[in-house]
Amino acid sequence: MDVKRCPTGVEGLDELLNGGFPYGRTVLLAGGCGTGKSILATQFLYNGAVKYGEPGLLVTLEQNPALIKADMGAMGFDLEELERNGKLIIIDASLSDMVFKQPIGEYALSIKTSFSLETILGLIEEAAKQINAKRAVIDSFSALDTLIEAKKQHPPGAAAEDARKTMLGINYKLQSMGLTSILVSDTDDNKTSGRYGIEEFIVDGVITMHYNVAGPDTGRHLIIKKMRATKHGENINTIEFQQGRGVRVKGF
């Protein structure tokens, strides 16, 4: 089957993916603190705009966009230039302060606007139309815990079911807009790929990132656990950060 590819532009990763993500799919990028998830996901957007002419959306649910731009700028990726050229919109949904930037200015909803999945998806849809976006990143899905009220109000097991419905809604909406998307998920040191243990069954692909601090495999690593509609590498791959190149898979 001839699969249309969405190249990540991340050195070594596209080789492992047989050319890139299958176009229009949703990929879960999971890992612990300091593994490089946010950098890799933002590279996916940056490379899409600069190398492949595909505008993108970055939905940040935790970090301040100014800090994201400063951190990526230090790595050699100028996100502000992409904003000015209408190639990137950053949606700031942190602390319920819904904001997104367009090339001609900044537009914000009231800070009193209720924090809901519908509000976030509505902003994504509006922003995607503004720049004809082809790619999206939500960083991080774990921050949507505030939408999963079942954890506190219902019996054990209800939280996972509510999380499943939340992710299904996000996945369906992103795919219906034709976006190739990365959902970033924070995990602890266990072997699951999501906080509720069900995320990896819903998305089309799962990539995990690890940071081993001891033993023969000390360092950062990347594993492609799942990718529908394509062959992919299955090994543990060593990764590194480089100025101007960001995350790269060693050996390619």
User: Is the model's pLDDT at 108 over the cut of 50?
Assistant: no
pLDDT for the residue numbered 119 = 83
pLDDT for the residue numbered 109 = 44
Q: Is 11 helix (H, G, I), strand (E, B) or coil?
A: coil
Cα gap 122→173, rounded to integer Å: 10
CA neighbor of 9 nearest in space, from 127, 135, 131, 124? 135
In sequence order, the 6+-apart residues with CB closer than 8 A to the CB of 80 are: 69, 73
User: Is the model's pLDDT at 183 over the cut of 90?
Assistant: yes
Higher-confidence residue of 18 and 162: namely 18
* Cβ 236 vs Cβ 223: under 8 Å: yes
Q: pLDDT class for 86, splitting at 50, 70, 90?
A: very high
Lowest mean pLDDT among 31-45, 81-95, 135-149, 156-170: 156-170
pLDDT for the residue numbered 164 = 77
DSSP letters for 203-238: SSEEEEEEEE-SSTT-EEEEEEEEETTS----S-EE
User: Is the model's pLDDT at 112 over the cut of 60?
Assistant: no
Q: Is 57 helix (H, G, I), strand (E, B) or coil?
A: strand
Q: Are strands 205-212 and 180-186 parallel, antiparallel or unpaired?
A: unpaired
* Residue 114, preceding peptide bond in cis (omega within 30° of 0): no
Query: Does the predicted TM-score (pTM) go above 0.75?
Result: yes
Cβ neighbour number for residue 164 with a 10 Å cutoff: 16
User: Is the model's pLDDT at 238 over the cut of 60?
Assistant: yes
pLDDT for the residue numbered 74 = 92
Domain borders along the chain are 5-177+196-249
Q: Supply φ then ψ for residue 218, to 5 degrees.
A: -60, 135
User: Is the model's pLDDT at 152 over the cut of 70?
Assistant: no
Average pLDDT, integer, range 76-96: 89
CATH topology of domain 5-177+196-249: Rossmann fold (3.40.50)
